[in-house]
Each structure stands twice: as structure tokens, then as C-alpha cells.
Structure 1
Amino acid sequence: MTATMRAVVLDEPGPVSNLHLRNLPIPEPAPGWVRIKIKAFGLNRSELHTRLGYAGDAVTYPRVLGIEATGIVDADPSGTFTTGQQAMTMMGGMGRTFDGGYAEYTCVPLNQVIPFRSNLDWATLGAIPEMLQTAHGSLTIGLDARPGQSLLVRGGTSSVGMAAAILAKRLGMTVLSTTRDPGKTSALTRIGVDHVLIDDGAVAPQARIFAPGGVDAALELVGAPTLPDTLRATRVHGVVCFTGMLSNRWIVKDFYPIGYIPSGVRLTAYAGEATDLPADVLQSFLDDVATGHAPVPVDTVFTLDHIKNAHGLMESGHARGKLVVRVD
């Protein structure tokens, strides 16, 4: 009799009611792949985009969603990892070209498994992989951030925005973060943000109060609608990194660089993979969390049975941090 697992399946794009909790066969890892028994996973906007049908032909259905997962190695035909070893995984086609983390088990390519050691609870650990990878990659690869610089985080109360602020403060940067909701100000100051800017669409004038010449670096997490204003908030030779699309708009139509980008401001982008998060960086962050030197901004923890509620909260935009689903 085939062993089964519980998994959340999206048969076709649409409303939250299209997410179905079903019993599926436990997947077998092919050569070069690893099976992970999932303990927790975080929710991500890209999964919302997939559920709403914005992923286009990149996704086939039915599909188990989830671009990240945290748990323990359950089977590794290559012998690279030990059964029971703690591991995180993300990206690489998870939840899009092959079944992802919204399940009790997932199989992923060997090169996107990141081992770690931690006594933190699974809900906290489950919040970290994609959030840390995206924030770390944006600051290092995208912005080449340096101690003493100023950083503007556009979309500051998103999980990646909060993680970026935390990493930037650890690096010794001055952090300005935005939110559209004044009620979320305290959520940002608690993680060390120096200046909270209320986003009314014109953040640049506010940012230049604290950085008169413009900020050294800016992380754009909202998307195409706010990018021009974020560019205007940045100094000559400063860098803006386009990473997120909280607005669900990521295309700049009729892009004319000379008219769009302020003279001397540099625009780049970041879209990373698991290989952009070195194991030692992950372990260092986990150790800092364990000693209280780095917070993990978790908003709400759900179970698989309440995945529709979790997606509804993510879609509402009312979360103040990462949404996590515990599986065990």
C-alpha cells in the first residue's frame, strides 16, 4: 500500500477556495534529489501570484505550491546528507515546475539543500529561508551595502523588508523603512529601524529630510508603481535594487532610461536562488536569533488545515511580518 502525505494542491489559478488539502503519495527522490520531511514553511507573495494566475506558463497544474520549506532530511540517495539532519530549501522551481513546500514532504535538487543546526522552534525556523536569502542577496549582490551607509527599504513591513532592516542594522547601516499604515510604525521601530516613513506615494521628500543628498542605497519591494519615487530618494552614485513586487506590478511600460532614471543613480535588480545563501551565513543568523541578537519577524503561525486563512491574510496585506505554516 502506497504511503501518503497531506499536501495543499492548487488545481487551477483563482480564489483562495481553489486551495485543497489532499492526500498524495509521498514522493520518491530521483538521483541527485533529496526528500525533506517538512516541519514548517513560510508563505510568499510569489505563491499568491501563482494562485491568482500571474505566473503565466511557468506553472503547470495541478501543483503543490510553496517556494520554500524547513525540516529534516528524510532520504538522500547520494549520501551527501544524513537522515534526520536539519535542512532548509527554497526556489529552484519549487511550487512552480515541481511540487513545493505546502506538504508534509517535498523532493528538491541536492544543490538547493542548506544544512543547519538549531534548537529554535520550527515555526521560527520555517520563517527564515526565503526571507533571509532574499534580504541577504539584495543587500550583498544587489546593493553591495556597506557599514555606515543609509538604506531606504520601500515596503518595510513585508517579511523581506523587515529581514533586510534587521540585516542592515547588524551591518551598521542607518535604516529608513516605509509603511502605508501608521499603525505599523512600532513593528518597524522594534526591529531597529531608525526612521519610519509613512508611504503616501511621495517618500523621496521624507527620505531627504534624514539624508539630504539622498540615501546611499534603496531596496524596492513594492514594484513598478513606486520605483520612480524610490529612485528620486537616492543620491548620485547611489544604488536602487528592484527585488519585490508587493503591488503585483513588475513591468515598467515604455521604459526610457534617460527620462526614467535620475542622472547618476544606479538601478539594479535581484532574483536569487538557494545557492545565494551560504550555509555559514544562515548558521550565523540562526545563532544570533538564538542568543537574542537578531529578531525573526513572525506575524502568525497557522497549520495546514488553515492554509486558506493564511492565504487570505497574505492577500489582505494586513500582516506585520512573516506568515508561517507548521506541518508537524
Structure 2
Amino acid sequence: MNAAVLYTAGGPGNFILENRPVPAAEPGQVLVKIHAFGLNRSEIMTRKGFSPDVHFPRILGIECVGEVADDPSGEYQNGQQVAAFMGHMGRHYDGSYAEYTVLPKEILIPFSSKLPWETLGALPEMFQTAYGSLHIALKIQRGETILIRGGTSSVGLLAAQLAKSAGLHVIATTRDEAKKTLLLANGADDVMIDNGKLYEQANANNTPGVDNVLELIGTTTIKDSLKCAAAGGRVCMTGMLSEKWSIENFDPMGYIPAAVNLTVYDSGQIRVADEHFRQFLLDIEDGMISPAIKRTFKLAEISEAHCFMENNTGAGKIVVLI
């Protein structure tokens, strides 16, 4: 099989496309023939060497969609469509930047769909992250308001559609005035141009605090986002588009306003139930949800795909087709 292998941390050019034997599945594992996978910002950080628990050489990739090629237990038949979700994939063991991979059965969801692989490849972590942040972490309710900071990211665009369909008033942010139309087309009721000081903007316009904030930029903006929440409001830090893991000299009493709740969502720790993902596929097939896909690449173009992801300014998921 062909695989993109990372032997040392560094730039996008460090990926080496090489031919490797197809791995064999052991009990509790499934051999998956990969058809597509989405790229994720966390993979940039791993590639750069910012994931201390990852040892090289490693085949990266925290998600994929494909078909079962071998299940020693016989539970899954060959050809069964499956989606793989984050669970140390591409970190503690080899991931999806390859034509085949061996995965533990517990991170797989079997499904049946006529959607093209290009669309399916964009979905596992994008759905898991957006849905989990909204419904598990924030526990959104109809009639509430939500501020989505980092709205033009793939997760931000999908979260806006899901929140709108759940009956929320959606405010989304972008740093680019030209992307306002994109946000409005993906479920946003209002758009704020993010200059790093949303709380000051809201105060200047006498805008009341929101019930929910989905923080996708990360540690560089979380303090300002917390101020945007009303008393009793909820803030979920999910994304790290800023590529910075931690806050220096973190002072909880100084950072978190009184009666505002701060939480996180991490699909590696808690999973959305399988039936929600299958319903999500049906909603796409019925035209109720339209996931934004920015561009597709081939496996041999993985270095170019990483350059594109690192340099672009959002507006959809990047998918690699095998």
C-alpha cells in the first residue's frame, strides 16, 4: 500500500510517500480500506512536533471513511462502510494517511450511505466536534443565542447550521468582511468582524451577553469570549485555530467572569452516539444540512494539502481522496 509517513517533525515537506505492506488486523481490530479522510488542525501541530505523546515515524490522520477489508471476528462483512473517529488514531498508532489502516473496533461507526466519498470524508470529526460541542458540552436549547468564534472554519460553518436548525439565534465571527455572506448562507443570523475585542464591540452596541459561546480560535481569544457570555452562560473551548495549547499564568478568578461556565469538548474523550451520526448522513442526503468542503487533494499531494490548510483562512473542510 501507499502511505505518507512522517519520520521527523517539521514542515509539510517532511512527509515521505512510500510503499509499505498492508497491515494485518488482530482480535478487536478491523482492517479498513480508506477511501477519504479530512485534514485537521491538530495534525499540523503533530507534524510540527507539538504533540509530545507522538513518536516518529508515524502515519498521521485522526479520522477516515472507507470499507472493511478484514474483520477477524466476522462481525463486519467485507465492503461494510465505516467511519473512524478520533481515539489515539494517528498518534499512538498509525492513522489514515494511507490506503489501508488497522483500527480498534471501538472507534468505528458502521453506516450505509450513497453520498460520495468526497462528502463522507469531510464528516466524521467535523460532525463529532460540532454536534458534541453544541449538544453535549453547551447543552443548547431552542430560543437561546450562540456566538461562534472562528465561524468560517469547517466546524464553525457546520455548527452554525446545526444551531440554526435547533432553533437558536446564531452570531458568527470572521476577520474578513468579504466572508460575511458565506456565514449568513450557512445559518448565521448576525456576523461580527473579529478584531480580537468582541466584548468591546458588543458593549459599544449595547449588545447583551449571549447564552452560549463556541470558542474555536483557542487560548488567544478565550478570555475575551468569556466576557461575551451572560451570567449563567456557557463557553465551550473546542478549537485551537491559533495553534497554541495553553495559557501562561492562567488565573481562573481573573479569567472567568462570575457565574459564567467554562467547559471543553474533545471527541477523543467523549463520543456522540452512533445514531446521531447516521441521522446526520440522512439529513445531508435530504438537503437539510450542507457541509462546506473547501478543496480535495490526492494522497500523493499530502504536503501540498498541509501547506494549503496552514495558509488558508477557512471556509470549509479539506478532504484527501484515496
TM over 0.5: yes
- 2:298 is matched with 303
- 1:144 is matched with 139
Offset from partner CA, 1:261-296 (integer Å, 9 cap, x none)? 111111111112386122211111111111111011
- Alpha-carbon distance between aligned partners in 2 of 1:79 and 1:191, rounded to the nearest angstrom: 42
- Alpha-carbon distance between aligned partners in 2 of 1:118 and 1:294, rounded to the nearest angstrom: 15
Tell me the SS of whatever aligns to 2:267. coil
Offset from partner CA, 1:183-207 (integer Å, 9 cap, x none)? 2222211111111111100112445
Q: In structure 2, give the amino acid aligned to 1:325.
A: V
Q: Cα RMSD between the aligned structures?
A: 1.5
Q: In structure 2, give the amino acid aligned to 1:164.
A: A
Offset from partner CA, 1:67-114 (integer Å, 9 cap, x none)? 001011111112222211111002111111100011111111111110
Tell me the SS of whatever aligns to 2:113. coil
Identical columns (%): 47
TM alignment of 1:76-115, pairs within 5 A: 76-115=71-110
Q: Could you tell me whether the CA contact under 8 Å between 2:202 and 2:208 is conserved in 1?
A: no
Q: Which of 273, 278, 287 does residue 283 from structure 1 map onto? A: 278
- Alpha-carbon distance between aligned partners in 1 of 2:117 and 2:84, rounded to the nearest angstrom: 14
Is the alpha carbon distance of 1:212 and 1:311 closer, same or farther for their aligned partners in structure 2, counting shifts above 3 Å?
same
- Alpha-carbon distance between aligned partners in 1 of 2:203 and 2:187, rounded to the nearest angstrom: 20
TM alignment of 1:1-328, pairs within 5 A: 5-56=1-52, 58-207=53-202, 212-273=207-268, 276-327=271-322
- Alpha-carbon distance between aligned partners in 2 of 1:11 and 1:191, rounded to the nearest angstrom: 39
Tell me the SS of whatever aligns to 1:160. helix
Tell me the SS of whatever aligns to 2:20. strand
**Contiguous gaps of at least 5 residues in structure 1:** none
Q: Could you tell me whether the CA contact under 8 Å between 1:208 and 1:215 is conserved in 2?
A: no
**Contiguous gaps of at least 5 residues in structure 2:** none
TM-score (norm 1): 0.95
Q: In structure 1, give the amino acid aligned to 2:5.
A: V
TM-score (norm 2): 0.96
Is the alpha carbon distance of 1:240 and 1:103 closer, same or farther for their aligned partners in structure 2, counting shifts above 3 Å?
same
Q: Could you tell me whether the CA contact under 8 Å between 1:68 and 1:129 is conserved in 2?
A: yes
Q: In structure 2, give the amino acid aligned to 1:281.
A: H
Q: In structure 2, give the amino acid aligned to 1:324.
A: V
Tell me the SS of whatever aligns to 2:146. strand
Q: Could you tell me whether the CA contact under 8 Å between 2:174 and 2:193 is conserved in 1?
A: yes
Q: In structure 2, give the amino acid aligned to 1:95.
A: G
Offset from partner CA, 1:142-173 (integer Å, 9 cap, x none)? 11111111111111111111121121112111
- Alpha-carbon distance between aligned partners in 1 of 2:270 and 2:250, rounded to the nearest angstrom: 31
Q: In structure 2, give the amino acid aligned to 1:16.
A: P
Is the alpha carbon distance of 1:237 and 1:31 closer, same or farther for their aligned partners in structure 2, counting shifts above 3 Å?
same
